[in-house]
Amino acid sequence: MAKVPVQFTLNGAEKAEFIDSGTTLLHALRDKIGDTSPKGGCHQGTCGACSVIIDGELRLSCLTLAETCNGAAITTTSGLSQGGVLHPLQRAFLDAFATQCGFCTPGMIIAAKVLLDHTPDPSRDEVVEALSGNICRCTGYEPIIQAVLTAARSNSQNAA
């Protein structure tokens, strides 16, 4: 299998790797780079557990080939905390008991981050829509929705 060079920014840090052509971004992140925050759930684009942000857009790393991300800026959940301080979304998920087994949590938080980046003060319906590509099978959606709304309120209070 041909190796191809791939360079991108991951959570603000430059990454340069040689990967097998055809490797998904999910595998490259988890198995090559060691960022295991995106989870491999369905590998079909259905569950959202592998969600990452690529150049500001929510994408599914299980369906994205790593070599198509050359030069891109990629953000995963592991890059959200700063200096050991949790991101407001991460804090809100913990405080609202919005994570049970935790498998869907990184994808949920990433989807929520994209929403709040573009819509800092979303309605409940906008939160539901933003999370509609992410499946949770144990926590239940209501605590997750409330956590996102809480984080949004926290953001707006900080900005005021």
Partner 1 sequence: MALALQNFSTVKDANAALKAAGTRYLGGGTLVVRAANEGDVSVSSLIRSTEPALSAITVSGSEVRIGASVTMAAIARHPDLTSLSHAARAVGGPAIRNMATVGGNLFAPAPYGDFTVALLALEAVVGTDDGEVPIEAFLAKRESNHAIVTSVDFSLPVDGGFRFLKVSRVKPKGVSVLSIAAVLEQAPDGTVSSAHIALGCMADRPMRAKAAEKALLGRKLTSDGIAPALAVASDGTSPITDPIASAWYRNEVLPVHLGRLLLA
User: Which positions touch partner 1 (CB under 8 A)?
Assistant: 1-2, 4, 20-24, 43-45, 48, 51, 57-60, 62-65, 67-68, 111, 114, 128-130, 132-134
Residue with Cβ nearer partner 1 (133 or 143): 133
Cβ proximity to partner 1, 65 vs 73, nearer residue: 65
Residue 105 is given by DSSP the state H
In 3D space, the residue among 47, 56, 55 whose CA is nearest the CA of residue 72 turns out to be 55
Rounded Cα gap, residues 5 and 42, in angstroms = 27
Pick between residue 47 and residue 92 the one whose CB is nearest to partner 1.
47
β-bridge partners, 20: 3
Secondary structure class of 90 (helix, strand, coil): helix
In the bound state with partner 1, the residue whose beta carbon lies nearer, of 60 and 80, is 60
CB of 160 to partner 1, least distance (A): 28
Distance CA 101, CA 124 (A): 24
For residue 51, the minimal CB distance to partner 1 (Å) is 6
Closest separation in Å from C-beta 12 to partner 1? 21
Least Å distance between CB 84 and partner 1?
29
40 near 26, Cβ under 8 Å? yes
Which residues fall within 8 angstroms of residue 113, CB to CB, at 6 or more apart? 53, 75, 80, 87, 89
* Rounded least distance, CB 43 to partner 1, Å: 4
Closest CB to partner 1 among residues 129, 142: 129
